[in-house]
């Protein structure tokens, strides 16, 4: 029988807080779960990236496990997908060095996230690690020969860099050196905005009142949605420029119910913002209830979680060591085995 090999997907989330937020879920995690039946998926808790914000070591250890538990609670299935912790597969950092040697300084300096983050911390707080962050991300992707990378809009430029680097390797060392990856960004949920400042993306570093954390209790979720900034007027219409607050609530509503925004808008004709907010609060609470319970269950069984991560580490290494060996060989490095 003729069997077509499946394409591979790779993605990662940083363990930078105890709970992921709704932007991580709608922009990334939910797509990860959906891709599992069609792709060979490799998903990682990218703890090395999290070191760029100098976390407390004990907090980092806890967050790595909490993040992995949330991947599983969202529906990442360890029988279908490889789930592992980035730092446990050394080929990521090994390939980063090789990629550092083909990445232009100017090219890395143009990464907008680096520019934004370094502007916030000021020159003296900027580390080489923060500068090199996108190259490590490119190594994550290329070391699995990933074809697709499911992410939110804010990661588009980083995935573009990994494409450029793969194309460069193929030009320099011959076709087949690296797989050229492509970002998979689902437009409707590509950028979920802060509830208090609907012109900024929802982010772990934003004010608490603007974020919905996946592990928040129902009371907190309801309060945050009910106090979300809406816009002047009272009509519920889809107008992201004039009414970004309402548009954000509609986008979240649509993503969580899989209903078209136009249909939701027509259902709320003649109703007030308050109606939309109460209904949305209930939808978010009920979507996240089983997620929160499952995460707590997983965290109460450390043996199970450790076993899954150990199995993931072995499966990830089996792929990464082969791909790294191939690329390193093209560079002219001697084989290690
Ligand atoms: P991180 O940890 O900041 O975010 C994880 C994922 O969540 C998405 N995301 C959002 N999507 C929609 N709306 C938002 N408000 C929102 N906020 C975050 C991000 O786009 C991302 O997909 N550099 C990556 C982690 C990473 C990675 C990789 C991703 C490291 N190596 C290799 C893909 C492939 C990051 O900072 O994600």
Give DSSP secondary structure letters for 309-323: HHHHHHHHHHHHHHH
| Token pair recorded at residue 306 | 């450790």
Within a 10 A sphere around the Cβ of 214, how many other Cβ atoms? 21
CA dihedral 143, 77, 306, 63 (to 10 degrees): 80
Q: Is 120 a catalytic residue?
A: no
Question: What is d(CA 136, CA 87) in angstroms, rounded to the nearest whole number?
Answer: 11
What is the gyration radius of the CA atoms in the chain, in angstroms?
21
219 shares a domain with 168: no
Beta-carbon contacts of residue 43 (< 8 Å; ≥ 6 apart): 10, 11, 12, 32, 71, 76, 81, 82, 83, 84
216 shares a domain with 186: no
DSSP state of 154: G
Q: Is 47 in the pocket of ligand 1 (CB under 6 A)?
A: no
282 shares a domain with 167: no
Residue 35 near residue 41 (C-beta atoms within 8 A): yes
Question: What is d(CA 305, CA 327) in angstroms, rounded to the nearest whole number?
Answer: 32
pLDDT digits (tens, 9 = 90+) for 105-152: 999 999 999 999 888 888 778 999 999 999 999 999 999 999 999 999
119 shares a domain with 24: yes
115 within domain boundaries: yes
240 is in which domain, residue-wise? 208-296
119 shares a domain with 220: no
Residue 26 near residue 252 (C-beta atoms within 8 A): yes
141 shares a domain with 59: yes
200 within domain boundaries: no
At residue 337, the pLDDT reads 63
Question: What is d(CA 92, CA 323) in angstroms, rounded to the nearest whole number?
Answer: 11
At residue 1, the pLDDT reads 61
End-to-end CA distance of the chain: 34
Which CATH number belongs to the domain containing residue 232 in this structure? 1.10.240.10
47 shares a domain with 164: yes
| Index of the ligand 1 atom closest to the CA of residue 194 | 15
Q: Is 24 in the pocket of ligand 1 (CB under 6 A)?
A: yes
218 shares a domain with 153: no
261 shares a domain with 212: yes
Residues of the chain short of pLDDT 50, as ranges, are: none
Q: Which of 88, 136, 137 is nearest to 321 (CA)?
A: 88
319 shares a domain with 284: no
Q: Is 191 a catalytic residue?
A: no
Please report where in the chains the tokens 């290494």 appear, as a residue: 317
Long-range contacts, stretch 201-205, CB < 8 angstroms, 24+ apart:
201/23, 201/152, 201/154, 202/21, 202/22, 202/23, 203/21, 203/23, 204/16, 204/17, 204/21
Q: Is 80 a catalytic residue?
A: no
Q: Count structural domains, the chain.
A: 2
283 within domain boundaries: yes
- Give the bridge partners for 298, in sequence order: none
199 within domain boundaries: no
Within a 10 A sphere around the Cβ of 16, how many other Cβ atoms? 20
Using the mean position of ligand 1's atoms as its centre, give its distance from the Cα of residue 150 in Å: 9
Collapse the DSSP code of 300 into the 3-class scheme (helix H, G, I; strand E, B; otherwise coil) and give the result.
coil
For a substitution probing ligand 1, which of 29, 31, 70, 152 has the most ligand atoms within 8 Å of its CB?
A: 152
Q: Is 14 in the pocket of ligand 1 (CB under 6 A)?
A: yes
């Amino acid at each position: 029988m003729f069997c077509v090999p499946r394409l591979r997907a790779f993605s990662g989330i940083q363990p930078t807080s105890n709970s992921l937020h709704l932007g991580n879920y709608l922009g990334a995690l939910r797509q990860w779960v959906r891709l599992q039946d069609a792709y060979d998926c490799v998903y990682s808790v990218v703890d090395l990236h999290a070191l760029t914000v100098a976390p407390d070591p004990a907090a980092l250890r806890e967050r790595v496990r909490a993040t992995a538990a949330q991947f599983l609670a969202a529906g990442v299935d360890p029988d279908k997908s490889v789930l592992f912790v980035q730092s446990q597969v050394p080929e990521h950092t090994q390939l980063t060095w090789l990629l550092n040697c083909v990445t232009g300084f100017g090219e890395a300096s143009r990464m907008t996230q680096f520019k934004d983050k370094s502007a916030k911390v000021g020159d003296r707080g900027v580390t080489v690690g923060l500068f090199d962050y996108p190259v490590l991300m490119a190594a994550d992707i290329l070391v699995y020969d990933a074809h697709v990378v499911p992410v939110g809009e804010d990661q588009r430029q980083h995935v573009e860099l990994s494409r450029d680097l793969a194309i460069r390797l193929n030009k320099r060392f011959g076709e087949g050196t690296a797989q050229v990856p492509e970002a998979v960004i689902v437009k409707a949920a590509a950028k979920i905005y802060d509830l208090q400042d609907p012109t900024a993306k929802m982010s772990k570093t934003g004010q608490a009142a603007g974020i919905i954390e996946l592990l928040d209790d129902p009371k907190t979720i309801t309060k945050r949605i009910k106090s979300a900034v809406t816009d002047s007027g009272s009509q519920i219409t889809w107008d992201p420029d004039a009414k970004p607050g309402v548009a954000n609530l509609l986008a979240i509503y649509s993503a969580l119910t899989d209903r078209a925004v136009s249909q939701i808008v027509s259902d709320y004709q003649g109703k007030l913002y308050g109606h939309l907010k109460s209904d949305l609060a209930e939808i978010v609470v009920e979507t996240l209830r089983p997620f929160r319970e499952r995460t707590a269950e997983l965290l109460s069984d450390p043996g199970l979680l450790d076993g899954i991560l150990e199995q993931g580490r072995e499966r990830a290494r089996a792929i990464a060591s082969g791909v790294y060996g191939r690329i390193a060989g093209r560079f002219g490095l001697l084989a290690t085995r």
